[in-house]
Amino acid sequence: MAVFDLLGRKWNMRLLWELRSGACSFRSLQERCDGMSPSVMNSRVKQLTEAMLIEKSDNGYVLTALGADLMDTLDPLRQWAADWESKVNG
């Protein structure tokens, strides 16, 4: 349940999603997240860092190995969601 609580917090999944393709600076990540406020962004980055899903690198924020593994684990769920959407909107 702890992982669902963490991922269910507003912006956390979006941050992980944006980092799946590589490192992002704070500002770049903020822009990709539709201009999330800096205070909220700091809070979410701290949560995800403490959960060992992201870390700061020389090139900006990146997924850790654990974070990348989580995103790979969620791939089947993304496919299920796309199938579900096509049936609902059919």
| In 11-82, beta strands by DSSP E | 54-57, 60-63
Task: Look over the chain and give the mean of its residue pLDDT values, rounded to a whole number.
Answer: 94
User: Which tokens sit at 56?
Assistant: 């700061």
Indicate yes or no: pTM above 0.85: yes
pLDDT > 70 fraction of the chain, expressed in percent and rounded: 100
| In 1-90, beta strands by DSSP E | 54-57, 60-63
Are the C-beta atoms of residues 62 and 55 closer than 8 Å to each other? yes
| Whether the predicted pLDDT of 25 surpasses 90 | yes
pLDDT > 90 fraction of the chain, expressed in percent and rounded: 90
